[in-house]
Amino acid sequence: MPDDTLNPVVGIDLGTTYSSIARWDGERIDVYRMHDGQESIPSIVHIQDSGTPLVGEMARPRLMTDPSNTVEKAKRFIGDETKVYTLRGKPYTPVDISSLVLQRLKQDVEKRYPKTAGFDIAGAVITHPHYFKFPQIARTQEAAVKAGLPVLRLASEPVAAALDYGFTNYSRMEKTGSEKILVFDLGGGTFDVTVIEVINEATKLTFKVLATGGDDMLGGTNFDEALAQWALNAQGIKFDGLKPEAKSRAVANLMEQVIKTKRELSSVDSSYLTVPNILPGQHMELEITRAQFNKILEPSCERIRRILSDTLTTARLRSGELNKSLMIGGSSLIPVMEDIVREETGVDPWADADRHLAVCRGAAFLAAMDDGRVTKKEIVIEEVTAHALGVRAAGNVFSVMIPANRAAPVQATRIYTVKSSSFEVQPFQGHGRLVTEPTVTALKPISITGVRLGPNGDADVKITFSVNNQQILFVKIEAPGVSEQRQLEV
Amino acid sequence: MEPNKSNEPPASVAGESLPATSEVAPLVVGGPAVDPVAPPADPPVAEPVTEPSPEERDQLIATVEAARGKFLALLRADAKPKSPDVMAAATAYAAALNESQIPLAEEWSRLQSGVDAETAVGHTSECDKLRNDADRLIANYAALFAGLPVLEQAVVTELDRMKEDDPPFLAAPAEIREPLINYKKGLQIIQRMFGRLHARKKPLEGIAPLPPAPTLPNEAPSATELANKLTEFGHAVNDWRVAGNTTQREIRKKVDGLRKEVTGFVSALLGPIDGIEGGLRNEPELLGRLESFRSDHAAVIDGWTRAYERLDAGLLPYFEATGLSSLTVEPGSAFRPETMEPGGTVVRLDRPLEEVVSVMRRGYALNGEQLRPVQVEVVVHTASETPE
């Protein structure tokens, strides 16, 4: 019988801004508290003079005092092979930075036990956003291995959140059936929405991602800024021409009150946004109702509503087919978000989700199931392609072979014409018309030589893309004189 | 052969003579094999009672102690609940005890001490600590509200000094009256902020004491009952631990809730307190503007200003009574990320990197636990960009 204390299996939410770790304690999910009592650490890394990394809360101030040796939000760049941070003269890739964050989580947990106790993490599930492309998922795994974590698997954040919701039901054999779940994840800087079908059978638990959508530039920070701007306009206060110190102080005071007011408006109908003496001879005192706040958020809400509606359409859900809406991410606490979800889905949001830790908790539960510590069930995660897959065609056109939101496994074949006996098939992933757009990512190219050209000096090339359940892309290239098959390294 | 009942050597052995003084006679080859010195005769007893030797006794005691230790280990906080090992350990302990002939009452009191020591650690001590935290938070909360009227009264006292219908004020030029009315407005906002805090008051509940750990009866059971009674007791302690772990989780959640409530209130309280600090910081600018009018309107200017200085000084007794403390730092100190946050930077190559240039905003702590770091302006050596 494995020891859930000394040899636990863990789930890790490697977040853009915060990261957390939880374990299966034999009966339930237990989120580890870090040495400072918090349940998460900021995903910030600073390299000190000595070359020693400082990770988490202690690294945060260095973003201002020593920004050239401090990195935050490295997750946004993971998978980008060209991205290198030079810190104290040494190169660090986003994988290195993410690995330091993961290592810090691991070490913080290890420090609770004496060295002689024999503490050793037996297995780990690491989460990633559903929209991550192949290289990003592969590099996340690399970061975990580099941190010394025994990786059981990687899982997408919405799937983990769905597992947290269902952890009591799904682990029992007798509770079988199917549920369609919406995961609405609105954090500080990103918004993701996913529709998942969970099929619970006696010996198998299947998560079928039906559709996904989102915006990685939309979140709580946008709402704070909108509210602050509204307040400054309403009171006619301007920060132009101020000394940097006075401006910094005024902004800090204002934003602190803005965040308090925003949080209060989640539980009361009206609140005050008050900053006396914000500047010499200037005060801010405003009463704001929830209706006014909602109006301020309207442009963001419209965008959220549209993404949600498109995702539900893609999932082809008939009226009444959705069973649950899970609200996660701190910004999902804003009441208007629940209203939007209720209106768009016709389902009351599930109120009991741990909005900040659901992903980490679900990952720990998945680790426990994978490791056979909960009732052993085979876990099958059927993803849809989060992004379109295609190749570069003439004129740098992104020639799509498998569109986004197609259930895996999926296969597509197209015929292209080449005018040379050697050429390169360059697969791409993303969305856009041209492969040169920043939203389109290049995958590893495949070089082909020895094609027999026809009398017109050209040849037809048949390219087949297939994506399996593990989201691995297989590329098959057939041309006269050539048959090349590659599994794309991710 | 008749046993020799004396300590004297036998006078003669068949065929051989022995020197009278000899204690150990050499055997003569060919003679019969005999004990050179016959052992003393044992007293005639019906059934000899074999007292264990000191070594054997030590061994038995060690066996009992090991069995007791094994049994006690199964009562520990990290022991598996409802373990079948408990019965095995209890049975082995009872058997070792019976064999050792150690008086049961004597061993019982040693076992009781061991049980008390084991059940005192684990969730009992952790829950006591959590209960203390809860009591302290509730006391802080009560003190924070109890002191509010004093703070409000201090603001009212300041506002009472600022009479807009006073003839000297009315006689002053608009360049004096307008900034002073604005100054008063800041205080009125602070007064309203303090006033609104009362609505946040909620009744807070403390944490009930935990059910006590099972204890052994004072009287030891009979030797035949011992194994069963120890097994029952071991399972009762394990059940108490399981229930205690659940309770501990619930208590921790409650204490987290209390802490959230208290820190939430302090966070709201910092709004008007920051307002006072802001007023204090802005005051020199106002006094500078009014300086040229001082010769003719000193009474008005002095009567209306310096309110923030007095209010700020009045915060100290409130802090002392509530467990709150303000955190600040001397310019020139080294930056410490544990207690400070940088709000701004100044490029100064003549000063050490990260030296504090000025305090931009005070930090605060409750019971020594930092709630907000001191915001400081620090020295940097290059106005560098982030590596992104």
pLDDT at A116: 77
pLDDT at B2: 40
Torsions phi, psi of B347, nearest 5?
-80, 115
SS3 B55: helix
Nearest to B337 among A58, A85, A280 (CB): A58
Cα Rg of chain B (Å, integer):
43
Cross-chain residue pair A65–B335, CB shorter than 8 Å: yes
| Cβ partners under 8 Å of residue A149, min gap 6 | A12, A102, A106, A121, A124, A126
Q: What class is the A9-172+353-381 domain?
A: alpha beta
By the CB < 8 Å criterion, does B189 face chain A? yes
By the CB < 8 Å criterion, does B368 face chain A? no
CATH 3.90.640.10 range(s) for chain A read: 220-293
| Cβ partners under 8 Å of residue A280, min gap 6 | B282, B285, B286
What residues in A contact B182, CB-CB < 8 Å? 281, 283
Nearest to B345 among A59, A65, A272 (CB): A65
CATH number of this structure's domain A220-293? 3.90.640.10
Cross-chain residue pair A275–B338, CB shorter than 8 Å: no
pLDDT at A172: 58
pLDDT at A362: 93
- Measured between CA atoms, the residue of chain B closest to residue A258 is B271
Cross-chain residue pair A65–B353, CB shorter than 8 Å: yes
What residues in A contact B342, CB-CB < 8 Å? 61, 64-65
pLDDT at B40: 52
Domain extent listing, chain B? 324-380
Weakly modelled stretches of chain A, pLDDT under 70: 1, 168-176, 375-376, 469-471, 487-490
Tokens describing residue A393:
């065609």
Cross-chain residue pair A68–B385, CB shorter than 8 Å: yes
- Measured between CA atoms, the residue of chain B closest to residue A59 is B337
Weakly modelled stretches of chain B, pLDDT under 70: 1-50, 77-82, 383-388
CATH 2.60.34.10 range(s) for chain A read: 388-487
Residue B35 has a CB neighbour count (10 Å cut-off) of: 9
CATH number of this structure's domain B324-380? 2.30.22.10
| Per-residue buried b or exposed e for B177-208, using 16+ beta carbons within 10 Å of the residue's own CB | bebbeebbbbbbbbbebbeebeeeeeebeebe
Cross-chain residue pair B384–A62, CB shorter than 8 Å: no
Distance CA B315, CA B320 (A): 9
CATH 3.30.420.40 range(s) for chain A read: 9-172+353-381
Cross-chain residue pair A283–B378, CB shorter than 8 Å: no
SS3 B238: helix
pLDDT at B387: 47
Cross-chain residue pair A281–B286, CB shorter than 8 Å: yes
Q: What is the pLDDT of residues A99-118, one digit of tens each?
A: 999 999 999 999 888 777 78
What is the value of ipTM here, to two decimals?
A: 0.77
Q: What is the pLDDT of residues A17-75, one digit of tens each?
A: 899 999 998 888 999 999 888 899 999 999 999 999 999 999 988 888 888 899 998 99
Indicate which of B191, B345, B378 best probes the interface with A, i.e. most A CBs within 10 Å of its own CB: B345
pLDDT at A264: 93
Distance CA A111, CA A104 (A): 10
What residues in B contact A61, CB-CB < 8 Å? 335, 337, 340-342
SS3 A70: strand
Cross-chain residue pair B342–A71, CB shorter than 8 Å: no
What residues in B contact A244, CB-CB < 8 Å? 344
What residues in B contact A94, CB-CB < 8 Å? none
How many residues belong to chain B?
388
Please name the fold of domain A388-487: Substrate Binding Domain Of DNAk; Chain A, domain 1 (2.60.34)
Cross-chain residue pair B275–A277, CB shorter than 8 Å: yes
